[in-house]
Amino acid sequence: MKFMEFALLDGKRVRASANTIRGLDYKCPYVYCKSPGLGVRIGNKKRPHFYHLSGKPECDSLSEGMTEAHFAMRDTM
């Protein structure tokens, strides 16, 4: 499964974490995305990540191409 780790907030790139504040005006970093915005999911089973509020995004950004295994390996380095 792929996760969207980054979003834009006030034009700055932010990374999803356990401290990410819900309800802010997050935008997809993909220039051509038509989604109205992003939400953030923070749970116990999966790492924090952003998701498209439209439910079915019309963009190709779907994460940075990193799976949970990629994140785990990167985090150990």
The answer to whether residue 39 is domain-embedded is yes
Domain membership of residue 16 (yes or no) is yes
pLDDT value of residue 61: 57
The total number of structural domains in the chain stands at 1
pLDDT digit string (tens) for 7-42? 999 999 999 999 999 999 999 888 778 788 899 999
Instruction: Give the model's pLDDT for residue 32.
Output: 78
Domain that holds residue 67: 6-76
Residue 43 belongs to a domain = yes
Task: Give the DSSP letter string of the chain.
Answer: -B-B-EEEETTEEEE--TTPPTTS-BB-SSTT---S-EEEE--SSS--EEEETTSS-SSS-STTS-BHHHHHHHHH-
pTM over cut 0.85: no
In a domain, 11, yes or no: yes
Q: Is residue 55 part of a domain?
A: yes
Report pLDDT for 12. Answer: 95
